[in-house]
Chains A and B, each alone.
Chain A
Amino acid sequence: MTNPQSAISVQSVSKSFGRGDSAIKVLQDVAVEIGTREFFTLLGPSGCGKTTLLRLIAGFEELDSGSILIDGERVDHLPPFRRPVNTVFQNYALFPHLSVAQNVAFALEMQSLSRAEVIRRAGEALEMVRMAAFANRKPSELSGGQQQRVALARALAPRPKVLLLDEPLSALDLKLRKQMQIELKQLQAEAGITFVFVTHDQEEALTLSDRIAVMQGGRILQLDTPRAIYERPSHRFVADFIGDINLLEGKVDGGAIQLDCGASVAGNFGHAPGDRVTVAIRPERARLAKSGEGSFAAEVMHSAYLGTATLLQLRLADGREFLLRETRIGEGAAPPEKGSRVSVHLPDSALQVFAA
């Protein structure tokens, strides 16, 4: 089943820590094919095994079972220094006793290049992250964002086939993080390197990635493009984890779903009559409607003007909250006031239904 195009191929990998009864299964039968030059993201809540998977690829942990291939060659028995991947560590792990230039030159020196070549390529790498002016500083004399760039340059300098990045932006403030996201994406395109990127920030994952693997409890739940993951989540967990979403409980009743809030949705979406299901809908896909066919009543709890849209916090008949993001409240048309009653329409095409 080995895909010849894969930069990285992770095949039914399992990993647990500890022995015997106290062993914790951290990864269970994980399989991923990551393409060449792909920006691939591992996304999931804290403790779901993202770092562990990255460390297995880098070689800092040993597999229990399965195999890992890089460019078609098995690497899972190789020590980290023999694997053609480099890591950008979450805490950067810059060598505090070496200057910025020496940090970046470290891997190049290991590759027994000539002195001139080492200096040239370290310079190039620093240029690429616009840190050439800081070459002689010590890491402790840099800001967080600057350290992050040096860590990136250090990992890119030896031109690895794959770059592993473990939440590289999590220590930065929002503004700098946005800026570094754009730079990362550009850099990846320019250098033509496969990125395996770890984050628990879903927005970051959606903007940057070619494909995302959503993980939970040591398994990959869904592996797809950002658009598919956002629009067609395969699990209730994925739907809930990525972006805002309304989850409405209900029961399949003949050819329709009867929601607990009183409304009903036409169609059974492939579930058998009597099944408990969860109907999911994004706040921006629900609509304010004229009362009547296929809509249900709700009370406005809070209305927040966001500039590009108005976010309404509604209360349904069963007391549940419902978020509705309305972009069509245009000039003149005032948003519904707090306490007023509105009716909400759920377009069939916007619904996802999961077994509850």
Chain B
Amino acid sequence: MNLRRLPFTREISLGVLVYLYVPVMVLIFYSFNANRTATVWSEASLDWYRKILVNPSIRDATWNSLVLATAAGLGSTLLALAAALGTKNRFRGLAVVEAILNAPLILPEVVVAVATLMLFVAIGIDMGLTAMIPAHIAFCIPFAYLPIRARLEGMNPSLEEAAQDLYANRFVTFRRVTLPLMWPGIMAGFTLAFVTSLDDFLTSFFLSGPGSTTLPVYIFSAIRAGITPEINAISTIMLIVSVALVVTSFLLGKIRR
């Protein structure tokens, strides 16, 4: 059946688009507003961007977020890669293993965050980045795993056999054939994990300690003091960073292929 022939396809699509993106557009628009009150337009200005660039707490929070997201992205991608390779050959318990790996997608994050907090307190781990990094790695695993797995499934198994047939041992086969072919999946997995960690509020909020505030946590506390255009500006920058990352990884994946 031709989808374009269904009635109102165009209208509904347009409605969904507006529904999804209008809030973000408004946020970006008002980040260039000179007025102190975030929702009243006076004139265009870059003042808020200038302000956040010199604000030391924002700079620290940005740094923390980037460190955390990088660590979570790398850690979870490595684990996901190992999991994907380990489950490459179909076996009986594969569905169970996948369910366990992907559990963070369904488990209520607040429950896991509280549980992690209690565990860390019980075993005496200080709150802060040391607590946040392992927690972020854990919930980022499925985001890294799914694209890697998809890529691996799509790979022609005779390519690895061909490499071995042409005198490459298992290690060389992995380095010269498997890894390069999986690279787009790995990049996509890392990017998704990175962005997911960058955006996380709940887990970070529960586990952050003095000096380890991340951007989402900072925005949350700032907003309690009143919505300012400053927050719009920070959010806009975060948005741009995320989108840029996803686009870059997409393009890199395309070139690699």
A58 in contact (CB, < 8 A): yes
A218 in contact (CB, < 8 A): no
Instruction: Report Cα–Cα, A89/B256, bound state, in Å.
Output: 24
Surface stretch bound by A, among B31-39, B117-125, B155-163:
B155-163
Surface stretch bound by A, among B20-28, B74-82, B166-174, B228-236:
B166-174
A347 in contact (CB, < 8 A): no
Instruction: Report Cα–Cα, A96/B151, bound state, in Å.
Output: 14
* Residues of B with C-beta under 8 A to A85: 165
In the complex, residue of chain A having the shortest beta-carbon distance to the beta carbon of B180:
A97
A87 near B168 with CB under 8 A, answer: no
Instruction: Report Cα–Cα, A60/B180, bound state, in Å.
Output: 22
B121 to chain A, nearest CB (A): 48
User: Given A96-B257, A97-B181, A110-B172: A154 and B159 within 8 A (CB)?
Assistant: no
A269 in contact (CB, < 8 A): no
**What size tier do the contact residues of chain A reach?**
20 to 34
Q: Please encode chain A, from 68 to 87, with 1 for each CB lying within 8 Å of some chain B CB and 0 for all others.
A: 00000000000111000111
A10 to chain B, nearest CB (A): 18
A91 near B156 with CB under 8 A, answer: yes
* Residue in contact with B169 in the complex, picked from A81, A91, A97, A158, CB distance below 8 Å: A81
B177 in contact (CB, < 8 A): yes
**Contacting residues of chain B (171-192) with chain A, CB-CB under 8 angstroms:** 172, 176-177, 180-181
* Residues of A with C-beta under 8 A to B177: 95
* Residues of A with C-beta under 8 A to B159: 93, 95-96
B181 near A110 with CB under 8 A, answer: no
B164 in contact (CB, < 8 A): yes
A95 near B167 with CB under 8 A, answer: no
In the complex, residue of chain A having the shortest beta-carbon distance to the beta carbon of B164:
A80
A179 in contact (CB, < 8 A): no
* Residues of A with C-beta under 8 A to B158: 89, 91, 93
User: Given A60-B161, A93-B161, A96-B181: A86 and B156 within 8 A (CB)?
Assistant: no
A86 near B165 with CB under 8 A, answer: yes
Instruction: Report Cα–Cα, A85/B162, bound state, in Å.
Output: 11
B256 near A95 with CB under 8 A, answer: no
A143 in contact (CB, < 8 A): no
B156 near A154 with CB under 8 A, answer: no
Q: Please encode chain A, from 107 to 121, with 1 for each CB lying within 8 Å of some chain B CB and 0 for all others.
A: 100110000000000
A237 to chain B, nearest CB (A): 30
* Residue in contact with B164 in the complex, picked from A79, A94, A111, CB distance below 8 Å: A79
B164 near A81 with CB under 8 A, answer: yes
User: Given A96-B257, A97-B181: A110 and B168 within 8 A (CB)?
Assistant: yes
* Residues of B with C-beta under 8 A to A80: 161, 164-165
* Residue in contact with B163 in the complex, picked from A91, A96, A106, A111, CB distance below 8 Å: A106
B168 near A81 with CB under 8 A, answer: yes
**Contacting residues of chain A (104-154) with chain B, CB-CB under 8 angstroms:** 106-107, 110-111, 154
**Can you name 26 A-B pairs with beta carbons within 8 Å?**
A58-B161, A59-B164, A60-B165, A79-B164, A80-B161, A81-B167, A85-B165, A86-B166, A87-B165, A89-B158, A89-B162, A93-B156, A93-B161, A94-B162, A95-B159, A95-B162, A95-B177, A97-B181, A106-B163, A106-B166, A107-B167, A110-B167, A111-B167, A155-B165, A158-B166, A158-B167
The 7 closest A-B pairs by CB, nearest first: A107-B166, A110-B167, A93-B162, A93-B158, A80-B164, A87-B165, A81-B164
**Using a CB–CB distance below 8 Å, which chain A residues touch chain B?**
58-60, 79-81, 85-87, 89, 91, 93-97, 106-107, 110-111, 154-155, 158
Known pairs A91-B156, A97-B180, A110-B172; list 15 more (Cβ under 8 Å).
A59-B164, A60-B165, A81-B169, A87-B165, A89-B161, A91-B158, A93-B158, A93-B159, A93-B161, A94-B162, A95-B159, A97-B256, A106-B166, A110-B167, A111-B167
